[in-house]
């Protein structure tokens, strides 16, 4: 089991370091706000970033944030106990977004969209208050692929979660250090590390989410053709605008050959 853990940790650490390097996610003197939800992904992200912090050729600081949204049954003591035990700086932001969402949306409606907007606003506010230069989220490779298909099938866009982005107000940079990591590896690592996982369904069942349907579709594809998700992910890094249909990305209108406009026809 220890050998499995060490091998898995090396792979995840290497993938995370490569993503950070490829997209220049963390720079010298950065103050990184690590968003910890209590799920397998964010626990693993924090663990790896702390390891990289000790060995990186640059110096950066980490402060951990958890947003207590007051969902019924949320075990508020778990994260403070864990974070205190590993000796990191952290803060717990308490905001009753659960009641706001329940009040605004009709019964049976999906709550995730509104909840996500409220959560994002509080993360940005906290980042400003603590002087964070980067905000780290725990989205992984499978999240990125699923988001691509969500936008493709339901949004009419070739778009996904970028590994690094700047918000609309241009005052915060969000990074996803786990962009190259597979969800199955993160789950296996979290199990081996015995992280105190907090359930992700405290706000109630969301069985009709389109993301769940996309995940099921991709899992079925993966069973039939192992490695397909990785191929899809690689395609997102290898786009050819001249072979799509977006005039904003490629100037089809002014496309010319070297001899365009120079041909003459002799009719004599």
Q: What is the pLDDT of residue 205?
A: 47
| Both structure tokens of 256 | 């010319």
- How far apart, in whole angstroms, are the C-alpha atoms of residue 164 and residue 232? 19
Distance CA 101, CA 249 (A): 38
CATH of domain 2-206: 3.40.50.620
Contacts of 130 (CB under 8 A, 6+ apart): 31, 33, 63, 65, 91
At 4 the pLDDT is 86
User: What is the per-residue pLDDT for 68?
Assistant: 85
Rounded distance, CA 110 to CA 206, Å? 7
pTM confidence score: 0.88
SS3 of the chain: the string is CHHHHHHHHHHHHHHHHHHHHHCCCCCCCCEEEEECCCCHHHHHHHHHHHHHHHHCCCCCEEEEEEEECCCCCCCCCHHHHHHHHHCCCEEEEECCHHHHHHHHCCCCCCCHHHHHHHHHHHHHHHHHHHCCCEEECCCCHHHHHHHHHHHHHHHCCCCCCCCEEECCCCCCEEECCCCCCCHHHHHHHHHHHCCCCCCCCCCCCCCCCHHHHHHHHHHHHHHHCCCHHHHHHHHHCCCCHHHCCCCCCCCCCCCCCCCCCCCCCCCC
User: 61-68 and 90-94 as β-strands: parallel, antiparallel, unpaired?
Assistant: parallel
Give the bridge partners for 94, in sequence order: 68
pLDDT score at 190: 97
- The confidence score (pLDDT) of residue 115 equals 67
Smallest CA-to-CA distance from 86 within 51, 121, 131 is with 51
Task: Judge whether 123 and 20 are in contact, CB under 8 Å.
Answer: no
**Under a CB-based contact definition with an 8 Å cutoff, are residues 85 and 94 in contact?**
no
One digit per residue, the tens of pLDDT, for the chain of length 268 reads 788 899 999 999 999 999 999 999 999 999 999 999 999 999 999 999 999 999 999 999 999 999 887 777 888 899 999 999 999 999 999 877 666 666 665 555 555 666 677 788 899 999 999 999 999 999 999 999 999 999 999 999 999 999 999 999 999 999 999 999 999 999 999 999 999 999 766 555 454 578 889 999 999 999 999 999 999 999 999 999 999 999 999 999 999 887 765 555 566 5
Tokens read off for 126: 């906290």
CA 13 to chain centre: 16
């Amino acid at each position: 089991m220890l050998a499995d853990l060490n091998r898995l940790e090396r792979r995840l650490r290497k993938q995370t370091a490569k993503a950070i390097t490829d997209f220049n996610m963390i720079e010298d003197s950065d103050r990184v706000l690590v968003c910890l939800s209590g799920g397998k992904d964010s626990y693993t992200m924090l663990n790896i970033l702390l390891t990289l912090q000790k060995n990186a050729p640059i110096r950066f600081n980490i402060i951990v944030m958890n947003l207590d949204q007051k969902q019924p049954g949320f075990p508020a003591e778990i994260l403070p106990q864990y974070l205190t035990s590993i000796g990191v700086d952290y803060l717990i932001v308490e905001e009753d977004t659960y009641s706001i969402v329940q009040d605004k949306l009709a019964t049976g409606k999906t709550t995730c969209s509104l909840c996500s907007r409220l959560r994002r606003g509080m993360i940005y506010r906290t980042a400003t208050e603590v002087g964070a230069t980067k905000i780290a989220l725990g989205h992984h490779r499978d999240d990125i692929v699923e988001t691509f298909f969500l936008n493709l099938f339901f949004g009419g866009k070739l778009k996904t979660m970028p590994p690094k982005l700047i918000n609309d107000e241009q005052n915060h940079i969000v990074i996803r250090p786990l962009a190259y990591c597979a969800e199955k590896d993160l789950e296996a690592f979290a199990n081996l590390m015995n992280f105190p996982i907090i359930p992700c369904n405290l706000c109630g069942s969301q069985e009709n989410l389109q993301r769940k349907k996309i995940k099921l579709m991709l899992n079925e594809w993966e069973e039939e053709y192992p490695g397909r998700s990785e191929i899809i992910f690689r395609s997102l890094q290898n786009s050819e605008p001249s072979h799509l249909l977006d005039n904003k990305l490629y100037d089809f209108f002014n496309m010319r050959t070297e001899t365009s406009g120079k041909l003459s026809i002799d009719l004599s």
